[in-house]
Structure 1
Amino acid sequence: MSIHGWARSALEADLQGAEALGYDRLLALRALLAEIVEQSRGLRDPEELAHELQFLADNLDDERDYAFMRP
């Protein structure tokens, strides 16, 4: 299993646990994201982390064509 597969499985298990406790899935995702950023901030340069988060935010649209992609 790849690290991404592990992360996907771990996240799904955590979300199911949160829902079992009565938490909304979106609220749980937001809380997890905030905690991941907080934990990452202690291990990485804040500017590097900000660039990675901005890249992820800029690439949320699956339908968008990007200049670096070739037809």
Structure 2
Amino acid sequence: MGIHDWARTALEQSLEAAKQEGFSKELALRALLSAVVERSAMLRPADDLAQELTFLADNLDPERDYGFMRP
């Protein structure tokens, strides 16, 4: 199992635990994201973390075409 597969499994387990507590999936995901960013900020420079978050936000659309990609 790779690290990304592990992360997806851990996320699904966390969402199931949140559901058992009566939290919505959206609220749980927002809280988890906030916690991950907070913890990451303890380990990485703020500008590095901000660049990664900006990259992820800019690439949310899976249908988006990029200039370097061929059709």
Counterpart amino acid of 2:39?
Answer: Q
Task: Give the C-alpha shift of residue 70 in structure 1.
Answer: 2.8
Counterpart amino acid of 1:47?
Answer: D
Partner of 1:42: 42
TM-score by length of 2: 0.96
Is 1:29 matched up with 2:29?
Answer: yes
Stretches of structure 2 that go unaligned for 5 or more consecutive residues are: none
Stretches of structure 1 that go unaligned for 5 or more consecutive residues are: none
Task: Provide, for residues 34-57 of structure 1, a one-character-per-residue CA deviation record: whole Å limited to 9, x for no partner.
Answer: 000000000001000000000000
Q: What is the identity percentage for the equivalent residue pairs of Structure 1 and Structure 2?
A: 61
TM-score by length of 1: 0.96
Partner of 1:69: 69
Counterpart amino acid of 1:22?
Answer: G
- Structure 1 consecutive aligned stretches of length 4 or more whose deviation exceeds 4 Å: none
Aligned alpha-carbon RMSD (Å): 0.7
Task: Give the C-alpha shift of residue 6 in structure 1.
Answer: 0.2
